[in-house]
Amino acid sequence: DAGVIQSPRHEVTEMGQEVTLRCKPISGHDYLFWYRQTMMRGLELLIYFNNNVPIDDSGMPEDRFSAKMPNASFSTLKIQPSEPRDSAVYFCASKGTQETQYFGPGTRLLVL
């Protein structure tokens, strides 16, 4: 298995622009998680899905952030409009029932 796939690996954008991060979970996994990692706040859970349904989005910072999972093999995290304080590494992770989470390599986002 290729593991969790994230794209792009790096993104540089200007403040105010829309940013879309993508994730392909491991085939057969029914949970998908989005995390954000910064030096100041460490690793934060933003949202997670079970069977494509959002279960807990309490970690989503504000309305500028949205996440979707249209099918079992694809999810997006969108930031609109982006701000410099959104600069971070965004990780996607997936897991099956009674398994631990497998992380993707992350997307490093820089908002100028």
Partner 1 sequence: GEDVEQSLFLSVREGDSSVINCTYTDSSSTYLYWYKQEPGAGLQLLTYIFSNMDMKQDQRLTVLLNKKDKHLSLRIADTQTGDSAIYFCAESILGFGNEKLTFGTGTRLTIIP
- Contacts with partner 1 by CB under 8 A lie at 4, 31, 42-43, 45, 48, 50, 55-56, 91, 93, 95-106
- Distant-in-sequence, close-in-space partners of 109: CB < 8 Å, separation ≥ 6: 11, 12, 13, 19, 21, 82, 86, 87, 88, 89, 90
Instruction: Give the residue from 48, 71, 68 showing the smallest Cα distance to 58.
Output: 48
CB of 16 to partner 1, least distance (A): 28
Q: Report in angstroms how near the CB of residue 50 gets to partner 1 at its nearest.
A: 7
Q: Residues 46, 107: contact at Cβ < 8 Å? A: no
Closer to partner 1 by CB, 47 or 79: give it: 47
CB of 62 to partner 1, least distance (A): 20
Taking the complex as a whole, how short is the minimal distance between the CB of residue 70 and partner 1, in angstroms? 20
Q: Which is nearer to partner 1, 73 or 101 (CB)?
A: 101
Nearer to partner 1, 59 or 81 (CB): 59
> How many CB atoms are closer than 10 A to CB 18?
11
